[in-house]
Amino acid sequence: GGRPVSQIRIPLPPNTYVAEYLPHDVLLPMVDVMVTNGGYGAVQRALSDGVPLVVAGQTEDKPEVAARVEYFGAGVNLRTGTPG
């Protein structure tokens, strides 16, 4: 975790949904792409569901996971932990 949803103090676009937790098995069948920090579990779930990835992660094994996602054509590696 991060901060609780109740602490978000910036305006969000009307097409944005914010939740404390969304289970992958519920979320992934409804999306066209997954934006992730490159955590192994989330990436594996997206790959198993055929969901393309946008990966931005720079800690632990996340750069290696992102590189493999890109190498195998399963998504885009942003090569940063702080996309702007």
Residue 1 pLDDT grade (very low, low, confident, very high; cuts 50, 70, 90) = low
Domains by residue range for the chain, with CATH:
23-84 (3.40.50.2000)
- Mean pLDDT over residues 38-48, rounded? 96
Q: Given this model, what pLDDT does residue 82 score?
A: 84
* Higher-confidence position of 81 and 35: 35
Q: What is the DSSP string of 16-65?
A: ----S---HHHHGGG-S-EEE---HHHHHHHHHTT--EEE---STTHHHH
Report the predicted TM-score, pTM, of the whole model to 2 decimal places: 0.80
For residue 23, pLDDT over 80 is answered with yes
Which region among 16-20, 31-35, 61-65 has the lowest average model confidence (pLDDT)?
Answer: 16-20
